[in-house]
Structures are given as structure tokens and as C-alpha cells.
Amino acid sequence: MRFQTPLIPAVLLRRYKRFLADARLACGHEITAHVANPGSMLGLKDEGLKIWLEPNDDPKRKLKYAWRLVEHQSGAFTGVDTGVPNRMLRAALEAGEVPGLVGYDHVRPEVRYGENSRVDFLLTGADRPDAYVEVKSVTLSRRDGIAEFPDSVTARGAKHLAELAAMVRAGHRAVMLYLVQRTDCHEVTLAADLDPAYAAAFAAATAEGVEVLAFDCRISPEAITLGQPLPFRAP
């Protein structure tokens, strides 16, 4: 997925009210950018971080910049836009490019299921059970090379795991897919200390047959694309 307009570097000043961030451009001008991430962004919102912004000239948008990436001192990148995984994965699923999820005839996004929920993707095909796929963006890393989910308490995430388990009991296939939007991690696990309830829901769901897939991303200021499968380590 290529960015619509070239990204520009900036220095983060602060992130606040969940969807806003102030930053300083290279010219010294201070601006406010939209943050497409309602999570805690643990480790990604410290003052002074180098970030990358996507400018726009859409008169319908109140803010003329959107925060897309963090560039770490190591040179690694983290994608902070939680909308990226679904947009990128939809194209990859339709092209049959996601290992473990190939061979389906139809890819339907945002299909109602469970208790007033929508599954990220419903995959259907002849002579195979439907596959319900939930996608989570993973951006937290507190140990070198290890990505963790979630970065804060997520009752909604635990609810999704229970609903995936219900799909397995109904005879369908259910998949929890973790997409690591970092270029410095080689495996994925759960941040059980941050949300023990989510870790318990994960254990219960996988015991009932919910599958787990994890992938990394190739990230640059030009584009974010699906990378390689990553090992998932239970906590």
C-alpha cells in the first residue's frame, strides 16, 4: 500500500485527545496532525521522536497532516495508523497472497457476526468452511525483537476472541491474525501483564480451535506492504 502523497519528516511534540498530535516540521513550523490510532501507543508518543506525516490538500479535512510512521533511533519504522492493516490485507487476500488464507473465492470485509460485532474479513469458497478472520495491528515492543499485543486493556479484543470461538463451535474456521507494523521484530506474543483478561480469552479461544497467524510488514516513507509470517509465542 503506497501512501497517496509523499511523507515528510517531523519531530513529535505531544499526542493528546487520542486522535491529535502536535509536531514541528523541518522548517520550524508547528502543526497539528490527525492520529488514526485510538490505542495507548505505548512507547510511540514520547516528545522528540522522529515521525513521518502525510500532508493533504483536501478542503473537507480540518487537519492538513496525518501521522503515519515513527522512525526509531535504530532506523527501524513503526506504522501507527490502525486502518492500514485492513486496507493492505484486503488487497493481499483478494490476490491470494496471504499464506494460510489462500484458495477462497470471495473476500467480504466488515461482515456482521456475533453479538453486534463485525468480523474484519469473511472468506468463503466452495467445498470448504467459511473463514472468519479478525485482524489486530501490533505496534508495542518492550523487548528487543519481540512484538506484543495489546498495548492496553482491550475488552473489545477479548469479546472478538469469544466470538471467534463461537464460530468454531458452529463448524466454521476462525483466525486471529496479528499484523506487526514494525520492522524491528521477529516474533509476536501477548502482553499478558497489561491485559490478563485478554490473555485468558486468547487461551480459551485457541483451546477451542481458533487459529493464530502473524505477519510483519515492510515499511518505508513510501509504502507499507505485507511481509513474512512470524512465529507466535504464547506467554
- pLDDT per residue as tens digits for the range 134-170: 999 999 999 999 999 999 999 999 999 999 999 999 9
pLDDT tier, 234 (very low <50, low <70, confident <90, very high otherwise) = confident
Residue 28: strand, helix, or coil: coil
Predicted confidence at residue 196, as pLDDT, reads: 98
Whether the model clears a pTM of 0.85, i.e. scores above it, the answer is yes
d(CA 98, CA 227): 10
What strand order describes the sheet that includes 211-219? 106-113, 117-124, 131-138, 173-180, 211-219, 224-229
Which helix (DSSP H) or strand (DSSP E) does residue 157 occupy? helix 155-169
- pLDDT per residue as tens digits for the range 166-213: 999 999 999 999 999 999 999 999 999 999 999 999 999 999 999 999
